[in-house]
Structure 1
Amino acid sequence: MNGVRVEVVVFLLAVVLYFLLACLISWLVLFPAGRAYVLERAAQVESAMQRRFAGLKRRQTAGAEVLLQSGAASAQGLAAFVKRHYLLCLAGLLLLSLPPTLAFLASGKNMLGAYDVSTREVNTQVAGLLQGEELVPPVALPPTVFATAEIERERPMLVSASRNWTLMNQEYTQRLLMVFKIMKEQHGYDMAILEGYRSPERQNMLAGMGGNVTNAAAFQSWHQYGLAADCAFLRDGKLVISEKDPWAMRGYELYGQVAESVGLTWGGRWKMMDFGHTELRVPGVMKQKG
């Protein structure tokens, strides 16, 4: 355990060193005043070193002078370069040595072992959707299911609404069908579409019935683009829409979670909550008219 802690500390120190080194290099590259300061300091150091070397040269023996003159012409050029740019050379050396050092530290067994294995659960159904699984719309329900007095109180004029899946956007349709599938297989809820595509004329007519029905006029709703639908639950062959039913309300909560997990927007989070509504917001679509 102590060994792991030491390795973690060493790793963090290496990260801090790399960060400081990156800041220094950025300062030199981006700020002319910084480069001027460094060059001025380098010139001062070079001048001091030249004075020292001058003193040493005066004290050198004739044999040493011959040796230096005959064998170190190239070495003197390299040394002069290093003296003039010693900070940049040092930074380059550190940059070259840092990756091997970090690789060596990271090679220790289980240095960060707590992160070796991912425990995140993968939703295989959503993965299938992303891989192009093609889902088929359910069989259409008889019109009488949508014509009861209870349904008329909850959703006026629902009997005349369109539930034609082919009029809706294909990408949105596949996501919504995946939601239906997950709700049935994982949560036991059978779902039905109440209304999908909505014409501009119908949208204006519903808007004229008051804000308790809809606040959106024609082309202000994703229904006009086939990118929205209102849905509810089937129980014993009957539609259950009202949020006052605890079973239905629990279903709406699950429905919202599943819909958001496949990238849809859920109306249950709006100020004017619409629990059965989902939509797929495609950029630029709302600017299209007609």
Structure 2
Amino acid sequence: MFLLAVTLYFLLACLISWMLLFPSGREFVAAALAGAGTRLQHTLGRLAHRRREDMGALARSGRASMGGLRAFWSDHYLFCLGGLALLCIPPLLALLLAGKPTLSAYETSTREVNTQVAGLLQGEQLVPPPALPPLVFTTAEVQLERPMLSTASRDWAMLDSAYAQRLLMAFRIMKEKYGYDMALLEGYRSPERQNTLAAMGSGVTNAAAFQSWHQYGLAADCAFLRDGKLVISERDPWAMRGYQLYGEVAESLGLTWGGRWKMMDFGHTELRQPGVMHKQGNK
């Protein structure tokens, strides 16, 4: 690279010296520049002339086309008017006969408003039902379905208030619309109790302490009352139908229903809130 630069510098120095010391050199360079300028002028002139010719041809073609259109209109104006009428009249008739157009997505809704849900959203405060006798939770059938249920917390005051109101609304809808009496089996669950239940195996729960929404008062397990007795097992067709309805009602109130999980927990609902639990478990 250095040798190339030195060579170019040497050639440039020789050229400048030749032009300064020899008049013939200056004349040669001047003649070369003049010739280049003349050739450039000739080239530009030819391009301008060709452009003028092209524009003239285009103008002549346009005038000829307009003349042809005028001649066609003069000879066939009745045919043109008839075709225009055939194109315009059908759409105009359709618009006039259809009346005022309305997009279906913006039509007035005919669906009935759920007054119970509307009341909940407007701030109606529901009251928890009276506590059931402890013996209801200690029968052999109940203990077989839910071990350690007798020591579970059923204190509504320990539940998150927003979740408790939605759960109470679900209880009301299940009673008034479907005829099912609901019972709270367990609400808040301490971390120690959660670990104890987790140690009993995946058939009880997969969640350890603070991996369950129960520890935050945002989950509850519920079942049904029939003739004063708890009905928990989904093997009972009446109870299974109730769980399906309960899941629909809970989800309509914004709750997560355990019946959709891989390890289905039909009586479980929870209200998941961002930032409350960093690591979510299955229950």
Q: The TM-score by the shorter chain falls in which range?
A: 0.5 to 0.7
Task: Return the match for 1:127 from 114, 118, 122.
Answer: 118
Partner of 1:219: 210
3-state SS of the aligned residue for 1:286?
A: coil
Q: TM-score, normalised by structure 2?
A: 0.63
- Counterpart CA distance in 2 for 1:121 and 1:159 is 42
Q: Extract structure 1 runs of 4+ deviating beyond 6 A.
A: none
- Counterpart CA distance in 2 for 1:120 and 1:203 is 43
Partner of 1:112: 102
Instruction: Give CA deviations for 1:183-232 in whole Å, capped at 9, x if unaligned.
Output: 00000000000000000000000000000000000000000000000000
- Counterpart CA distance in 1 for 2:119 and 2:99 is 36
Counterpart mapping for 1:223-242 below 5 A: 223-242=214-233
2:152 matched to 1:155? no
Count of aligned residue pairs for this structure pair: 193
1:113, distance to aligned residue in structure 2 (A): 7.0
- Counterpart CA distance in 2 for 1:148 and 1:228 is 24
Task: Return the match for 2:166 from 154, 172, 175.
Answer: 175
Give unmatched runs, 5+ long, in structure 1.
1-47, 53-104
- Counterpart CA distance in 2 for 1:211 and 1:164 is 26
Partner of 2:272: 281
- Counterpart CA distance in 1 for 2:239 and 2:161 is 27
- Counterpart CA distance in 2 for 1:126 and 1:144 is 33
- Counterpart CA distance in 1 for 2:103 and 2:212 is 50
2:234 matched to 1:248? no
Paired residue type of 1:183: M
- Counterpart CA distance in 2 for 1:222 and 1:114 is 41
- Counterpart CA distance in 2 for 1:269 and 1:117 is 34
1:110, distance to aligned residue in structure 2 (A): 3.0
- Counterpart CA distance in 2 for 1:109 and 1:160 is 69
Partner of 2:199: 208
- Identity of matched residues, %: 76
- Counterpart CA distance in 2 for 1:114 and 1:190 is 40
3-state SS of the aligned residue for 1:285?
A: coil
Paired residue type of 1:226: G
- Counterpart CA distance in 2 for 1:167 and 1:121 is 34
Partner of 1:45: none
Partner of 1:143: 134
2:273 matched to 1:269? no
* Structure showing greater Rg: 2
- Counterpart CA distance in 1 for 2:158 and 2:253 is 21
1:111, distance to aligned residue in structure 2 (A): 1.1
1:114, distance to aligned residue in structure 2 (A): 5.3
Could you say what the CA RMSD is over the residues aligned between the two structures, in angstroms?
A: 2.8
Instruction: Give CA deviations for 1:112-147 in whole Å, capped at 9, x if unaligned.
Output: 375633222321111111111100000000110000
Q: TM-score, normalised by structure 1?
A: 0.62
3-state SS of the aligned residue for 1:287?
A: coil
Partner of 1:259: 250
- Counterpart CA distance in 2 for 1:113 and 1:167 is 49
